[in-house]
Amino acid sequence: MTPHLSVPKSIARTVAGVAGLCCLVAPVYAAPGDVLTAEALFREGKALMAASKHAEACQKFEASQDLDPGLGTLLNLAQCHDAIGRTASAWSEYLEAKYQAQTAGRKSHADGAAARAKALEPRLVRLIIAVPNVVEGLSIQFNGYAVRKALFGMAQPVDPGESLLQVSAPGYKTWTHKLTITEEGSVSTVSVPELEKEQPVVVVAPVATPLAEPQAADPPAPAAVPASGSLTNVSQGVNIQPGGWSAMETTGFVVGALGLAAIAGGGVLAVLAKADYDDANCSEGECAAAADQQQVEDARQEADIGGAAVIAGGVLAATGFTIFLTSNSSDPATDASVRLSPVVANGFGALQLFGRF
């Protein structure tokens, strides 16, 4: 504690008797470094007061009181605020010093602080904040400090000069008001208007600009190929353009070739299914283990898929060769297209053929 004021020995013995219990509740004393800094600030403040530099002295006293609160510092801070015209701050600090002095048994200091506070009362500037419409969640800030709801409509001492009043509530726009009060002993009233509700924010989704329909491009010039025909791999599939064939002949050739490929694939799958079935340790429908039973079921499924592929391939091959044989090669080439899509569902596979002839 900064030794601004001495303490009677009787009070010191009483404090020492309960010091152990106080330490169990919360730390009472400032850190040694803070005490030294607070003492240095206090002395600077006294020197500035003696030089009539009251505004600078108040800053030193405030910093010293924050680091190491003391009755002597508080009294000097009140005197400094009184000197610069901050009457409300000085008045409240004199009253606080009075209560601290009474607690410490310093009657003379308590009486002196009370007398100074009473002398300031006729000079105090008071402000009434009237709030006719109190909405839910209303918050009032006066110079950055919250104003309790119980103080609405009451005349409260404030420091003279310019002040800022801010009123806010959820869902309402914040109301800000600046006021200046300089006349000592005056009572001013500020009436808070009805707050304006905030407009809901409407988020407009961007509207996608429709794309222009693509124009059909002219068909590319056919590439030079040998008379006997050729197969050319291009991106995203196989483009088969045998030379000298009509569109129908080309389509029939493609469908037939795909059918043969499906038959070959189905046959291979059937052979693999037969090998898996024979490898399973089963006899007359009874299997030695669950894994063998699962292997048998998988083999049956593979056989079904292979059979379906063979049947589908046979249909495709027959259809393709029929188209190829029945088309007239002397007809001029027409615009034809073929698209083949795989389909897999519920363990079965299929091929979908789409064509335009």
169 Cβ contact partners less than 8 Å away, ≥ 6 residues apart: 135, 136, 137, 138, 139, 195
Please say whether the structural domain 9-121 has been given the CATH code 1.20.210.10: no
With CA atoms as reference, report the closest residue to 340 among 264, 269, 257.
Answer: 257
Report whether 67 contacts 41 (CB < 8 A).
yes
Q: Which of 23-27, 64-68, 96-100 has the lowest mean pLDDT?
A: 23-27
pLDDT of residue 267: 82
Q: Where are the domains of the chain?
A: 9-121, 125-191, 231-356
Binned at pLDDT 50, 70 and 90, residue 324 comes out as confident
pTM above 0.85, yes or no: no
9-121 and 125-191, same CATH topology: no
Alpha carbon separation from 44 to 76, 268, 342 (Å, rounded): 12, 101, 91
Class of 125-191 per CATH? mainly beta
Return the exposure string of 149-173: e unless at least 16 CB atoms fall within 10 Å of the residue's CB, then b. eeebeeeebbbbeebebebebeebe
For 69-113, write each residue's pLDDT tens digit: 999 999 999 999 999 999 999 999 999 999 999 999 999 999 999
State the Rg of the chain over Cα: 49
* Residue that has been written with the tokens 């079921």 in this structure: 297
Instruction: Work out whether the CA dihedral 232, 219, 343, 318 comes out positive or negative.
Output: negative
